[in-house]
Amino acid sequence: MSMQTDARREGEAAASVVVVDYGLGNLRSVTRGLERAGAEVEITDDPDAFGEADGVVLPGVGAFREGVENADPIREHLLAVAESDTPLFGICLGMQMLLSGSEEGEDDAEGAASAGLGLIPGTNLRFDQGQKVPHMGWNELSVERDHPLVEGVSGEYAYFVHSYYAVPDDEGAVVATTDYGLEFPAIIADDSGTVFGTQFHPEKSGETGLTILRNFVGLCGE
Amino acid sequence: MVLTKRVIPCIDVDVDDDGNPAVYTGVHFEDLQYTGDPVEMAKAYNRAGADEFVFLDITASAHGRETMLDVVSRVADEVFIPLTVGGGIRTTEDIRETLRAGADKVSITTGALERPGLIDEGAAAFGSQCIVISVDARRRFDGEGDHYVEIDGESCWFECTKKGGREGTGIDVIEWAHEAEERGAGELFVNSIDKDGTKDGYDVPLTRAVCDAVDTPVIASSGCGGPEDMYEVFTEANADAGLAASIFHFEEYTIEETKEYLAERGVPVRL
């Protein structure tokens, strides 16, 4: 399945971005958000398109296990994107899938099927200190270190919907944090800086979210 | 900083005589006044700092549903904040169609009361985060409930109603809230038939009872007459979000004013 959007036909975009369609979530908002940020967007599950794009977005809403299972056929291709230094941007569940695993998939007998991409070593844990779950709503970002994704962003609000949070093995992977009973990573990135993700939904985070999407498109266009 | 309390304008979408989407707002329960085009209203509220939108299809007709999906798509293409859409959702296919149009969450009332399995199906297929269960609660002062609170010295329970309060179900709201949460609801949307249209404040005992009973986020609705009512339902009932319609539609208060009022009194809001 492949769908090209208006911006692509108009040919005025700053970068071509693939939104990976692996059968989960509302792709309309993230597509429109990226277009607003200046990208030409292709929604596809065709791995050939990943290699040609300037950047790849791994979206996602829902359960970790279902996510990694659905993405299994394209797993090697996503790893190749990371290897090639093409920006790979995971959003929400897509970000959690960048890590090695999750508590959410642990009681699964076929542990292997629940493994994340392992691009950022670490795991995802469930909020279990009496917080209302899911963590749903607007919460504040605290930027911890430089990364092109957070240029012009500091102490602003983003929209979150999730029950699990990422715990990278290396604290240096944390770009921004948010406080929900405990401080958890809101944005993470690998050493190379080209694999990164946001726990919140930039496509639902108003102007702050659009700034982050513009930063991403800018990074893809470099 | 902590998770902020959300201020949500509710937009009831109807169709006008020419078949175009239109928002009408009730004045004193019955008289409906034309308020505007839903897409334009959404854009204006977004600029004013709305945290989210709730769109309700109040036509309960096939044409109304089509109009609604078109409104949702147009809003989703321009406004980058969460959208919840309700009205007449009864099947998994209805949920799918609504999400595909650009909604982030669906709000289900009667469809879930009549077939609770819809909650499980929806949560399994699309995730709990997009399944909002809405209740239209009515106060009852008799012995037929399961969970009682005291209101003005009288013992009261809350009944789930259907068809906007015209039909009772005998189901206790608190029991239903538990069941909905167990089945996979990701949020509860609590309306009060007693308070709807009164503008004399939310049903705080109702909202508090639901918030105390469940761990999922709760949106308080019905009765908001101004920022002080939102303050009350956030601080007295611990609601996660406050919904209002006419105070915003008739420009009695802006969303900015409302959030500033809350912030000055220590309620965390996104400014």
Nearest to B244 by CA among B217, B223, B265, B270: B223
Closest-CA residue of A relative to B78 is A32
Nearest-angstrom CA–CA distance, B44 and A17: 30
Q: Which domain holds residue B231?
A: 6-264
**DSSP 8-state class, residue B100:** H
Helices B173-183 and B204-213: crossing angle, nearest 10°? 40
pLDDT digits (tens, 9 = 90+) for B197-234: 889 999 999 999 999 999 999 999 999 999 999 999 99
Nearest-angstrom CA–CA distance, A91 and A188: 11
Domain total in chain A: 1
Residue A193: count other Cβ atoms within 10 Å of its Cβ.
Answer: 15
Query: What pLDDT is attached to residue A105?
Result: 63
| Band of residue B27 on the pLDDT scale cut at 50, 70, 90 | low
Instruction: Calculate what percentage of chain B has a pLDDT beyond 90.
Output: 75
| Band of residue B36 on the pLDDT scale cut at 50, 70, 90 | confident
Nearest-angstrom CA–CA distance, B75 and B81: 10
Query: What pLDDT is attached to residue A111?
Result: 47
Confirm whether B270 is domain-assigned.
no
pLDDT digits (tens, 9 = 90+) for B84-133: 999 989 999 999 999 989 999 999 999 999 999 999 999 988 888 899 99
* B127·A204 Cβ contact <8 A: no
Contacts 24+ apart (CB under 8 A), B60-63: B60/B87, B60/B88, B63/B15, B63/B19
Domain total in chain B: 1
Structure tokens at B75: 């809003």
Confirm whether B172 is domain-assigned.
yes
Nearest-angstrom CA–CA distance, A26 and A61: 8
pLDDT digits (tens, 9 = 90+) for B49-63: 999 999 999 887 778
Q: Is B136 a catalytic residue?
A: yes
- Chain B residues with CB under 8 Å of A135 CB are 3
CATH at residue B144:
3.20.20.70
SS (H, E, C) chain A: CEEECHHHHHCCCCEEEEEECCCCCCHHHHHHHHHHCCEEEEEECCHHHHHHCCEEEECCCCCHHHHHHHHHHHHHHHHHHHHCCCCEEEECHHHHCCCCEEHHHCCCCCHHHHCCCCCCCEEEEECCCCCCCCEEEEEECEECCCCHHHCCCCCCEEEEEECEEEEECCHHHEEEEEECCCEEEEEEECCCCCEEEECCCHHHCHHHHHHHHHHHHHHHHC
Alpha-carbon distances, residue B271 vs B15, B247, B258 (angstroms)? 33, 19, 11
Give pLDDT tens digits along chain A (222 positions).
445 444 444 445 789 999 998 876 678 889 999 999 999 999 999 999 998 999 999 997 777 888 888 888 999 999 999 999 999 999 999 999 999 988 876 655 444 446 899 999 999 999 998 888 889 999 999 999 999 999 999 889 999 998 899 999 999 999 999 999 999 999 999 999 999 999 999 999 999 999 999 999 999 998
Interface with A, mutate which of B4, B75, B130, B270 (most A CBs under 10 A)? B270
Residue A110: count other Cβ atoms within 10 Å of its Cβ.
Answer: 10
pLDDT over 50 at B10, yes or no:
yes
Nearest-angstrom CA–CA distance, A179 and B239: 19
* A132·B99 Cβ contact <8 A: no
The distance in angstroms from the start CA to the end CA of chain A is 28
- Across the interface, of A32, A133, A142, the residue whose CB is closest to B76 is A32
Nearest-angstrom CA–CA distance, A29 and A126: 26
Nearest to A147 by CA among A121, A129, A120, A125: A120
Work out the minimum CA distance from A141 to partner chain B, whole angstroms.
Answer: 9
Contact predicate B161/B191, CB 8 Å: no
Nearest to B87 by CA among B117, B115, B67: B67
Confirm whether B92 is domain-assigned.
yes
Q: Is B57 on the interface with A (CB under 8 A)?
A: no
Contact predicate A55/A219, CB 8 Å: yes
Work out the minimum CA distance from A146 to partner chain B, whole angstroms.
Answer: 21
Nearest-angstrom CA–CA distance, B130 and B108: 11
Contact predicate A93/A163, CB 8 Å: no
Prediction ipTM score: 0.89
Q: Which residues pair with B26 in a beta bridge?
A: B32
Confirm whether B184 is domain-assigned.
yes
Nearest-angstrom CA–CA distance, B131 and B180: 10
B86 three-state secondary structure: strand
Q: Is B130 on the interface with A (CB under 8 A)?
A: yes
* B6·A137 Cβ contact <8 A: yes
Confirm whether B195 is domain-assigned.
yes
Q: Which of B14, B136, B172, B203 is catalytic?
A: B136
Structure tokens at B32: 């409906």
Query: What pLDDT is attached to residue A2?
Result: 47
Query: What pLDDT is attached to residue A1?
Result: 43
Q: Which domain holds residue A214?
A: 2-221
CATH at residue A17:
3.40.50.880
pLDDT over 70 at B28, yes or no:
no
Closest-CA residue of B relative to A32 is B77
Query: What pLDDT is attached to residue A133?
Result: 82
